[in-house]
């Protein structure tokens, strides 16, 4: 029998997790032969704990063959105990008119206690993926608490931006999304992010050549991807959930599965591509062993790309300054 993977998930009664948990239990994250145990954390408030019981009841009612156990708790040390993956979703979403950085002070402190608990009780091979916003800076706060687990184990998610960008390019070109490759997201999961279309291909040809509209790429494509989260909030009255859950499945699957494919993931910057060392910036990575990645080097950046990266890097270093007391 294959040993189960213990997956701790925070914010488990929230809207992202309502889409996420059944998909993990169905084998979409770790494979159709890999049993899982879900360790679900919610805040110690009766309403949230009751809702969590309801979520667990529904998971039971799916009779998923791979789901070996469900643990529901309000104690981070129970949720993260022996966890192989910790998916940190729980935190406040923004509402209409807010920027993700507005959440910094409120959400940042969640990641101090959770980072400490993970470092204390999670499995030696534990990997951490942060979704709660502002995710680049929250993951830095969590990683800063760790004395045992290396900072490289902590990542944050720009996969939703990668997926959004691929669809925008495909729709503009009038082709299937599977035709789009090599779109790299650089920087912060915020409107300053740089969806680098200069290396993207559509049907194997340079995207810029296929689209043949530089103004659209620079003035419409980039802000559409950067502000898509706000557009969803304006349309739904709630932040993205199904697409965020889907992106987290893609993010973890990418990190769990060694391959030559290039993925955009927020990792601790080593100074590559002009990012300040030590901030968590989205860069191109390749998975070399399950849970282990390298930053892909040698992607050429023209003057426009360098300028875009400088803008998003300024924001990341500014966010780090704002939370310096939490690091």
Asked if 157 interacts with ligand NAD (CB under 6 A), we say: yes
DSSP H helical ranges for the chain? 15-25, 46-62, 76-79, 104-108, 110-121, 135-144, 159-173, 207-211, 214-215, 222-226, 228-236, 242-256, 303-322
Give the C-alpha separation, 180 to 165, whole Å.
9
The neighbour count for residue 292, using CB atoms within 10 Å, is 13
Select from 5, 8, 9, 13 the one that contacts ligand NAD (CB under 6 A). Answer: 13
Q: How far apart are CA 290 and CA 256, in angstroms?
A: 4
Q: Does 240 bind ligand NAD (CB under 6 A)?
A: yes
Task: Give the span between the Cα atoms of 255 and 16, in whole angstroms.
Answer: 20
Residue pair 256/5 in contact by the 8 Å Cβ criterion: no
Question: 232 is in the binding site of which of ligand NAD, ligand LMR, none (Cβ under 5 to 8 A by kind)?
Answer: ligand LMR
CA distance 151 to 186: 19
- Could you report how far apart the first and last alpha carbons of the chain are, in Å? 41
Q: What x/- string results for residues 206 through 245 when contact with ligand LMR is judged by CB under 6 A?
A: -----------------------xx-x------xx-----
Q: Tell me, by CB under 6 A, how many residues bind ligand NAD.
A: 28
The enclosing H or E element of 156 equals: strand 154-157
Residues 254-293 that bind ligand NAD (CB under 6 A): none
Q: Which does 301 bind (CB under 5 to 8 A by kind): ligand NAD, ligand LMR, none?
A: none
User: 189 an active-site residue?
Assistant: yes
Q: What is the DSSP letter of 187?
A: B
Residue 13 contact partner, candidates ligand NAD, ligand LMR, none, CB within 5 to 8 A by sort of partner: ligand NAD
> Which 56-85 residues touch ligand NAD, going by CB under 6 A?
none
Smallest distance, ligand NAD to C-beta of residue 33, A: 29
The answer to whether residue 195 forms part of the interface with ligand LMR (CB under 6 A) is no
Which residues lie near ligand NAD (CB under 6 A)? 10-11, 13-16, 41-43, 48, 89-94, 110, 131-133, 135, 157, 160, 189, 239-241, 244
Which residues lie near ligand LMR (CB under 6 A)? 93-94, 100, 133, 160, 229-230, 232, 239-240
**Residues classed as catalytic:** 189
């Amino acid at each position: 029998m294959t040993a189960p993977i213990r997956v701790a998930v925070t914010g488990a009664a929230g809207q992202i997790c309502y889409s996420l948990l059944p998909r993990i239990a169905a084998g979409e994250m770790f494979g159709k032969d890999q049993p899982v145990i879900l360790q679900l954390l919610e805040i110690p408030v009766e309403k949230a704990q009751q809702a969590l019981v309801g979520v667990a009841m529904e998971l039971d009612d799916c009779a998923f063959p791979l789901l070996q156990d469900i643990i529901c708790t309000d104690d981070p040390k129970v949720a993260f105990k022996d966890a192989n993956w910790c998916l940190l979703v729980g935190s406040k979403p923004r509402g209409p008119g807010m920027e993700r950085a507005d959440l910094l002070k409120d959400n940042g402190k969640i990641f101090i206690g959770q980072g400490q608990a993970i470092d204390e009780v999670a499995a030696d091979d534990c990997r951490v993926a942060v979704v709660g916003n502002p995710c680049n800076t929250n993951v830095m706060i969590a990683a800063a608490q760790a004395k045992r687990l290396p900072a490289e184990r902590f990542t944050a998610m720009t996969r939703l931006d990668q997926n959004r960008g691929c669809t925008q390019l495909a729709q503009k070109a009038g082709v299937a999304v599977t035709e789009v490759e090599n779109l790299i997201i650089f920087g912060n999961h915020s409107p300053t992010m740089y969806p680098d279309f200069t290396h993207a291909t559509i049907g194997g040809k340079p995207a810029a050549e296929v689209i043949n509209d530089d103004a659209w790429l620079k003035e419409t494509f980039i802000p559409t991807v950067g502000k898509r989260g706000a557009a969803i909030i304006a349309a739904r009255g709630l932040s993205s959930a199904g697409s965020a859950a889907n992106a987290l499945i893609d993010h973890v699957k990418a990190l769990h599965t060694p391959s030559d494919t290039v993925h955009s993931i927020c990792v601790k910057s080593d100074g590559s591509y002009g990012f300040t060392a030590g901030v968590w910036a989205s860069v191109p990575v390749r998975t070399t062993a399950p849970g282990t990645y390298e930053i892909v080097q040698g992607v050429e950046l023209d003057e426009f790309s360098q300028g875009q990266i400088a803008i998003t890097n300024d924001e990341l270093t500014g966010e780090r300054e704002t939370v310096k007391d939490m690091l």
